[in-house]
Structure 1
Amino acid sequence: MDAKRELVISLFLKSFRPCDILKKLKQLGINERFIFRTIKRYKETGSWKILPKPGRKRTVRSPKAIKRVRERVRRNPAQSGRKMAKELGISQSTMKTILKDDLRLISYRKQRVHGLTEKQKAGRVQRCRQLLKRHGGCEILFSDKKLFLLQDHHNQQNDRIYAAHLSDFPRDKLAVQGFQNVSRVMVWGCFSKNLKVPLLFIEPGVKINTKYYIDNVLKNHLLPIVKKHYKKTPYCFQQDSAPSHQTKATQAWCEDNFPDFISSKEWPASSPDLNPLDFSAWGYMLGKLGSTKGLTVDTFKQRLEKVWNEMPQDIVRASCNAFQQRLRLVIKAKGERFELD
């Protein structure tokens, strides 16, 4: 680095302009900011060398202490900063500075995910490989159901309020209330990269058995829409392994009425990370719903429909196009989840 600074000043003393110096030295990885700062330092101090900073040397936050913290983190990344500070005999503020400024580390919260057995992992890998081979070029129509609660969505990580004191805000602005007997709305959604099927609301108390699923969801709701949209264009229907989906009657109906579909024996079990509605659409809708305080169930349904209908097709298309890449990521991860839910 010193050689680069010396080279910049030697060209500057030969009356080269900063833009000319940049053209000559750009291939060395020198940028415009580096050139201006070096010239400014030379004009102010008469030297291109960086002078030592004033003030006393570090005592507690020394290179030795930083090295010790780095080694501890390498051995156990889950150890708390408070515990490390106590064991190393340094303050919590110093430990925080070492972790953040010196080691450039970020504290991530652990998240709860659905567990996968070894059998499930092996099954995910096997079925993902089959899906890559069998449905490589066909447009897939993804489907899923979602239970929405008529209460404000709360993100524990990102829902924050900045203030000097908590007393600056009224209590109702600081809390997100949750109720046991909150109203619920069950919806069934379906889309492909070129089609977004209108939401279907499942009435409260309805048990989605095989007959209800075939008659009300597939036959009367989905089939007329896809026939009108696709006509003779081939497509593939996807559904998860819910009990009403994997019965012999449902599988036979799908085989008779869809040009192609992913059977219950093909779709990987416990795989919400592969369904675009699970990993993309439902989260998008929760973020767009806003406050639901004071809404009736009917008004809430209208808002759900509005958010669904206004969801940009670019987002839908991108999430559908990510399917094959996610299949490869599951294979690469040997069946493990490649991202946190």
Structure 2
Amino acid sequence: MERLTPQQRLQIVQLYYENQRSVTNVFRALRPHYGQHNRPALNTIRHTINKFESEYSLVDNSRPNRPRPARSIKNIAAVAESVRENRDELIRHRSQQLGLSYGTTWSILRKDLHLKAYKIQLVQELRPNDLPARHRFADWALEKIEEDPLFSSKILFSDEAHFWLNGYVNKQNCRIWDEEQSEQVQELPLHPEKTTVWCGLWAGGIIGPYFFKNDDGRNVTVNGARYRTMISDFLLPEIESNDLYDIWFQQDGATCHTARETMTLLRSHFGEQLISRLGPVSWPPRSCDITPLDFFLWGFVKSKVYADKPATIEALEANITRVIHDIPVEMLERVIESWTFRMDHLKRSCGQHLNEVIFKK
């Protein structure tokens, strides 16, 4: 029931004195006015009578809307000065230094100073020689796009990623409520299982996933021989079946990618349309921020595949396959548009980090 009006409270007081000063009798007398279930509760009636007899009032006390003493002008100024000196300080540490409670410090930061907490963006460390290489690549890519507006849609970007079958439990976020100390434990493997996945992404679809396994079907990591097997037995047949004869192939500078035999194999098929370290078109080192698989695909897939907590590598691989196959072509087209957008920013930044893209300026 909503808060009682002064008139309703007056009615309760009158009935109270008319019915032998009995709260129960008042409760019964209110039934014709409110019905069986909408009557004021016994505690409400009792509180109304007590207030009237102690304060001679039937209205609520009005309190001025003033700030709490802890959020005083002095404390607000102290928090503001603390922020100017160190923006990275944790609220817990800041409150301890200022002698304020955590809640008061948080309220001053958000409600009085109108500040927000932003996460730090992690980027690949760049070396001085990387900047000219990134700048040159952006120049080359934009020139090719100027010659052919559809050029970016003719690049097959490739990469591998590890997906762990994660059995870890965060003890700080896991609680077992019981009457006594639970003796429940969870055994964790010393080296959790993982699967290594390769994919090729272009504007028209995704080739893969390809899972690296040995002859016994066990998951293995990538080396030069396994990478060449993937190219010969999986990538090239997929390119042929999709009629991608004019496709450019991109890979990063991992050792297994740029081994002499591997580069010979790739050159024999892609010729001059190979983007790689030691290739006809040099791929800049430490440039995961301009690889669609790194700035889009792997993060997107990992955000989906663990939703049902797969218990086996087979279940994890099935989830990976399903999520990748469900990605619509329209989304991939937008990803390639984003890559072109990143090339433009990479050129204008002379190879520096893409801050305008990261922070969406």
Superposition TM-score, scaled by structure 2 size: 0.64
Whole-angstrom distance in 2 between the partners of 1:176 and 1:207: 31
Q: Cα gap change, 1:293/1:329 in structure 2, threshold over 3 Å: closer, same or farther?
A: same
Whole-angstrom distance in 2 between the partners of 1:242 and 1:100: 46
Partner secondary structure for residue 305 of structure 1: helix
Partner secondary structure for residue 159 of structure 2: strand
Q: Which sections of structure 1, spanning at least 5 residues, go unmatched?
A: 1-52
Counterpart for residue 242 of structure 1: 254
Deviations 1:117-137 (A, max 9, x none): 233344333333333334563
Partner secondary structure for residue 230 of structure 1: coil
Deviations 1:163-204 (A, max 9, x none): xxx5559999xx998632322211211121113213211113
Counterpart for residue 133 of structure 1: 143
1:278 aligns with 2:294: yes
Counterpart for residue 223 of structure 2: 208
Identify the structure with bigger relative contact order (alpha carbons < 8 Å, sequence gap 6+): 1
Q: Cα gap change, 1:195/1:179 in structure 2, threshold over 3 Å: closer, same or farther?
A: same
Whole-angstrom distance in 2 between the partners of 1:176 and 1:329: 48
Counterpart for residue 242 of structure 2: 229
C-alpha contact 2:222 2:256 (8 A) present in aligned 1: no
Which protein is bigger by CA-based radius of gyration? 2
C-alpha contact 1:153 1:286 (8 A) present in aligned 2: no
1:183 aligns with 2:193: yes
Aligned with 1:315 (options 331, 338, 341): 331
C-alpha contact 1:152 1:176 (8 A) present in aligned 2: no
For 1:201, the aligned partner's letter is F
Identity of aligned residues (%): 24
C-alpha contact 1:143 1:188 (8 A) present in aligned 2: yes
For 1:185, the aligned partner's letter is T
Moved more, 175-184 or 97-106: 175-184
Matches within 5 A, 1:45-60: 54-56=64-66, 59-60=69-70
Whole-angstrom distance in 2 between the partners of 1:207 and 1:190: 15
1:294 aligns with 2:311: yes
Partner secondary structure for residue 148 of structure 1: strand
For 2:269, the aligned partner's letter is N
Whole-angstrom distance in 2 between the partners of 1:55 and 1:119: 61
Partner secondary structure for residue 180 of structure 1: coil
Whole-angstrom distance in 1 between the partners of 2:337 and 2:79: 43
Q: Which sections of structure 2, spanning at least 5 residues, go unmatched?
A: 1-62, 214-218
Q: Cα gap change, 1:105/1:248 in structure 2, threshold over 3 Å: closer, same or farther?
A: same
Counterpart for residue 336 of structure 1: 353
C-alpha contact 2:212 2:226 (8 A) present in aligned 1: no
Counterpart for residue 40 of structure 1: none
Whole-angstrom distance in 1 between the partners of 2:75 and 2:348: 38
Q: Cα gap change, 1:207/1:85 in structure 2, threshold over 3 Å: closer, same or farther?
A: closer
Aligned with 2:207 (options 186, 197, 217): 197
Whole-angstrom distance in 2 between the partners of 1:303 and 1:71: 50
C-alpha contact 2:157 2:202 (8 A) present in aligned 1: yes
Whole-angstrom distance in 2 between the partners of 1:189 and 1:167: 41
Deviations 1:272-293 (A, max 9, x none): 2211112211122222212344
Q: Offset of 1:240 from its aligned partner?
A: 0.8
Counterpart for residue 25 of structure 1: none
1:101 aligns with 2:115: no
Q: Offset of 1:59 from its aligned partner?
A: 4.4
Counterpart for residue 150 of structure 1: 165
Matches within 5 A, 1:78-117: 78-110=88-120, 113-117=123-127
Partner secondary structure for residue 129 of structure 2: helix
C-alpha contact 1:152 1:292 (8 A) present in aligned 2: no
State the number of aligned residues. Answer: 277
Q: Cα gap change, 1:56/1:336 in structure 2, threshold over 3 Å: closer, same or farther?
A: closer
Deviations 1:47-76 (A, max 9, x none): xxxxxx924456442445434433432342
